Chains A and B, each alone.
Chain A
Amino acid sequence: MRALHPFTLLAVAAALPALAWILPAPAGGLATAGIAFCLLGSRGLRRGLWPALVAAAPFRLFLLLLHDVRTTLAIGLRISTMVASFVWLAAVLAPDRLVEATVARGWSITAAYLFAATLSAVPMLRARARRIVEAQRCRGLSPRGSVANRLRALRALALPLVLSALHEVDERTLALEARGLVPGARRTPLAPPPDRVVERVVRWGLLLLCLAALVRRVA
């Protein structure tokens, strides 16, 4: 499944939740949730099943707290479809293949850079945030007590993180300029993922299916 074109994976992950919301409940939601969990349960991806089930569980609990059983079932199946589809997508979609696919399709290098740079910056800054929390605790910062005390502690934790991140913008700017990444520049992809005719047909088919279901639902 990982060999599929990234746009096909995105199309499937977008179409399933869309259909779950468009098709009449609970049959529509049951069908889409079934497909999404089957995709997750396919060979090599079974480890994704548990996170999806665990992530969707609190929603069912809270839905039951706020709604009757019928509504809980309808909304719960839609949310389960959404969670399972995206957990599946995260498991099968390699960001570097997506970047290559967007570049091969002629999309702006800016969009590809933003996606790839964000995915690499988030874990880096999270690790730095944890280090700052530990460092400030070592210096005697107490993040407990009254709300005012906690807000002061929050400022002491957040300011170094945000300021250090903003100083990093200078380094990144120099790196981008040195690599000639300016608006309008085109890059040649090294290994563009193959986009077979059958996959293109599937993508258009999914779009038409969603539109047809929407028209039928509205009519």
Chain B
Amino acid sequence: MSARLLALIPVAVAISLALSAAVDAVALPLFLDTTGTILATALAGPVVGIAVGALTSAVNTLRNPTFWPFVVVQVIVALYAGFAARAALFRSLKTAVPAGLGLGVIASLTSTPISYFVFGCTTTGGIALTTALGKALGLPPLGACFFGSFVSDFGDKAVTFALVASVLHALPRRTAARFPLALRAIGAA
């Protein structure tokens, strides 16, 4: 791995964790905790993205230990973002947002079994409440758990994809060209 990609990884992890300040300021029900993973993958490919995702989970675990089992979701996110970057789905918001919605479905399908079997669907307050709502609507326990994860992941991943697409387009071409996948991700190569 080159020194540039090595330097990118801690910065991308820090981006994922620092964005919570921006989310808090606008008071939207978003996490944006996969932004660094998706951005690093779009810039440098899924291997770097997986490293960022694993490291994000590890650092998050020091703050809240329930994050560690969800490292699998970060890996899936990196693989999906790698596919999206190779297919140039970050070329505009019109392609990035649907791709993000697709990731929302996949991420909630991945996180549901972990959340259900490891934590009884109580990973965060918001997810627990939406799971309780799903239960009140008559869904079976696993279905209610998926409902909770889906409600939180669906919009979050779409906004994250849109944000990453905005960042990639705002990057000067000379800077983007220093990363192996950046120009292809926005359909400029």
Q: Is A158 an interface residue (CB 8 A)?
A: yes
Question: Once the chains are docked, how many angstroms separate the CA of A62 from the CA of B166?
Answer: 37
- Contacting residues, chain B, for A183 (C-beta < 8 A): 1
Decide if A129 touches B19 in the complex (CB within 8 Å).
yes
- 0 or 1 for each of B26-41: is its CB under 8 Å from A? (1 = yes): 1110101001000100
With CB as the reference atom, state the residue of chain A lying closest to B164. Answer: A162
Decide if A86 touches B61 in the complex (CB within 8 Å).
yes
- Contacting residues, chain A, for B122 (C-beta < 8 A): 58-59, 62-63, 66, 75, 79
Question: Once the chains are docked, how many angstroms separate the CA of A150 from the CA of B121?
Answer: 29
Classify the interface of chain A: helix, strand, loop or mixed: helix
Question: Once the chains are docked, how many angstroms separate the CA of A162 from the CA of B170?
Answer: 10
Segment among B10-18, B70-78, B84-92, B99-107 that sits at the interface with chain A: B10-18
Decide if A118 touches B166 in the complex (CB within 8 Å).
no
Known contacts A82-B66, A124-B14, A165-B14; decide if A151 and B167 are in contact (CB<8 Å). no
- Contacting residues, chain B, for A125 (C-beta < 8 A): 11, 14-15, 17-18
- Contacting residues, chain B, for A167 (C-beta < 8 A): 175
Chain A interface bracket (under 10, 10 to 19, 20 to 34, 35 or more): 35 or more
Number of contacting residues on B, CB 8 A? Answer: 56
Known contacts A119-B59, A173-B4, A176-B7; decide if A66 and B25 are in contact (CB<8 Å). no
Known contacts A66-B122, A79-B119, A118-B59; decide if A150 and B14 are in contact (CB<8 Å). no
- The interface of chain B, by Cβ under 8 A from chain A, is 1, 3-4, 6-11, 13-15, 17-23, 25-28, 30, 32, 35, 39, 51, 55, 59, 61-62, 64-66, 118-122, 125, 128-129, 131-132, 135, 141, 144, 159, 163, 166-167, 170-171, 175, 178
- The interface of chain A, by Cβ under 8 A from chain B, is 17, 21, 55, 58-59, 62-63, 65-67, 71-72, 75, 79, 82-83, 85-87, 89-90, 110, 113-115, 117-122, 124-126, 128-130, 132-133, 137, 143-144, 147, 150-151, 153-155, 157-159, 161-163, 165-170, 172-173, 175-177, 181-183
A-B contact pairs, 16 of them (CB 8 A): A58-B122, A62-B125, A66-B122, A79-B119, A82-B66, A83-B66, A115-B55, A125-B11, A125-B18, A126-B14, A126-B17, A137-B25, A151-B159, A169-B11, A170-B175, A176-B6
